[in-house]
């Protein structure tokens, strides 16, 4: 038994050492050929200070950083089990299709061309890591929640007293009967004020890496503070809200039972609402049934759509339990989405560029984050139309076409588009239909 254990440890050490050596070799290729545009450690050539050259090179670097940062997305992982699926998928896609470095960049920097030998080494390494990856896991309500707090939070989520004029509740913009949204281009606040951005779903929102399109809230509790105190949304404040709620003796008794105090605060209200929102996990889709082992629940068309979803690199952004919400991505990597939208090109409805279109930049003030948004959750996507942060697309068919073109640079075939849409509809929870 002792000898067998020693042999296993020795074999594991050899395997780990071989992996470490192999990864160092791959790292060295990436560092030599890719880091100038995909890191914060750029080594500029002597001509980078020339007026025209500087402008072009800076644009390339900013685009590269917004798309992929090696320090954040690859080098931080010590073991192959840690490298997320989306990172592997994205690198595989770019290297296999010779997208990186771009041809115009190779022409100017001959030393940055990835050789065929290096390409094969990278792909072999990535393929090896992918083999150890598990299929997507079915969603399940696994969070341990306080049932009394959830019940209180549900009442508050639907309570219009949270708004200044008692006309709006959280459910006004995040209607649970409408996929956790209001199915509007952008939400309407008090006094008929039209908001600047599309309302994201609250279903499965606990799985978001951060909250809001621009990630300005760390979690659901912080997010719950926002609308109440926003003059364009609920237009109130916690002092006003608490004064109204204190008149409700039954509700006050619930607060006392949950928080063991006669006083209520804005933090308590936000905490209870967040606890309720954590319960909004939709685990009853046909895709979940498929992942649990029912291989007959999806049609051949839907299964083909799932394969195409993977083939077209959709899963490199839309991954995780909620199939999205776990990363930030630039809108318009392959083509300039905002320029085309501004001019009404490629079937996009003409719309001026506004402050919210800056996305993550509004929080970080880093140029590379202009137009970067949290990747939306795809579960129940059939119900949460219209689509994108600007609510500019009404159908899944149009959205798949737009994403394929602006993110991957692909004009997707109608047949493939329809198959992907068929798959996306399997993500709808049966209880919401």
Residues serving a catalytic function are 233
Going by C-alpha positions, the residue among 89, 84, 139 that lies closest to residue 380 is 139
Instruction: Please return the burial class of 288, using the count of CB atoms within 10 Å of its CB with bins 0-12, 13-18 and 19+.
Output: buried
Residues near 240 by beta carbon (within 8 Å), at least 6 away in sequence: 164
Residue carrying structure tokens 């959709």: 314
- Report d(CA 315, CA 130) in Å as an integer: 13
- Reduced to 3 states (helix: H, G, I; strand: E, B; else coil), residue 99 is coil
- Report d(CA 176, CA 159) in Å as an integer: 14
Residue 373's DSSP bridge partners are: 329
Instruction: Please return the burial class of 312, using the count of CB atoms within 10 Å of its CB with bins 0-12, 13-18 and 19+.
Output: buried
Helices then strands, each counted (H, E), the chain: 18, 2
Residue carrying structure tokens 């030998």: 117
Residues near 137 by beta carbon (within 8 Å), at least 6 away in sequence: 291, 321
User: Hey, how many other C-beta atoms are within 10 angstroms of the C-beta on 421?
Assistant: 20
**Cα first-last separation, the chain:** 56
Q: Where are the alpha helices (DSSP H) in 204-265?
A: 220-229, 238-245, 249-259
- Report d(CA 415, CA 413) in Å as an integer: 5
The CA radius of gyration of the chain, in Å to the nearest whole number, is 24
């Amino acid at each position: 038994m002792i000898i067998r254990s020693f042999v296993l440890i020795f074999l594991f050490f050899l395997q780990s050492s071989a992996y470490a050596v192999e990864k160092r070799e791959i790292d060295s290729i990436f560092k030599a050929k890719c880091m100038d545009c995909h890191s914060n450690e750029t080594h500029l050539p002597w001509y980078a200070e020339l007026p025209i050259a500087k402008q072009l090179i800076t644009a390339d670097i900013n685009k590269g950083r917004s798309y992929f940062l090696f320090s954040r997305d690859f080098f931080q992982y010590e073991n192959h089990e840690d490298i997320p699926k989306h990172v592997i998928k994205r690198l595989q896609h770019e290297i296999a299709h010779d997208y990186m470095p771009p041809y115009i960049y190779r022409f100017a920097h001959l030393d940055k061309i990835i050789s065929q030998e290096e390409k094969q080494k990278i792909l072999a390494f990535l393929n090896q890591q992918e083999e150890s990856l598990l299929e997507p896991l079915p969603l399940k309500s696994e969070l341990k929640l306080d049932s009394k707090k959830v019940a209180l939070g549900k009442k508050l989520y639907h309570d219009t007293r949270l708004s200044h004029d008692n006309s709006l509740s959280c459910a006004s913009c995040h209607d649970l009967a409408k996929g956790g949204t209001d199915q509007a281009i952008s939400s309407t606040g008090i006094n008929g004020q039209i908001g600047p951005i599309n309302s994201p779903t609250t279903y499965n929102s606990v799985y978001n890496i951060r909250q809001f399109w621009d990630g300005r809230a760390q979690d659901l509790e912080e997010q719950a503070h926002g609308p109440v105190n926003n003059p364009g949304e609920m237009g109130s404040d916690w002092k006003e809200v608490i004064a109204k709620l204190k008149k409700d003796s039954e509700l006050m008794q619930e607060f006392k039972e949950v928080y063991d105090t006669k006083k209520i605060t804005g933090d308590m209200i936000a905490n209870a609402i967040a606890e309720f929102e954590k319960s909004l996990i939709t685990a009853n889709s046909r895709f979940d049934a498929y992942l649990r082992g029912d291989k007959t629940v999806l049609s051949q068309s839907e299964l083909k759509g799932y394969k195409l979803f993977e083939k077209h690199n959709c899963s490199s952004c839309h991954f995780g339990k909620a199939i999205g919400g776990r990363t930030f991505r630039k809108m318009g990597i392959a083509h300039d989405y905002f320029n085309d939208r501004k001019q009404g090109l490629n079937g996009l409805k003409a719309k001026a560029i506004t402050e919210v279109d800056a996305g993550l930049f509004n929080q970080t003030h880093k140029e590379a984050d202009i137009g970067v948004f949290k990747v939306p959750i795809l579960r129940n996507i059939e119900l949460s139309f219209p689509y994108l942060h600007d609510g500019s697309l009404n159908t899944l068919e149009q959205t798949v076409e737009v994403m394929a073109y602006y993110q991957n640079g692909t004009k997707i075939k109608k047949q493939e588009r329809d198959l992907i849409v068929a798959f996306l509809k399997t993500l709808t929870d049966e209880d919401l239909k």
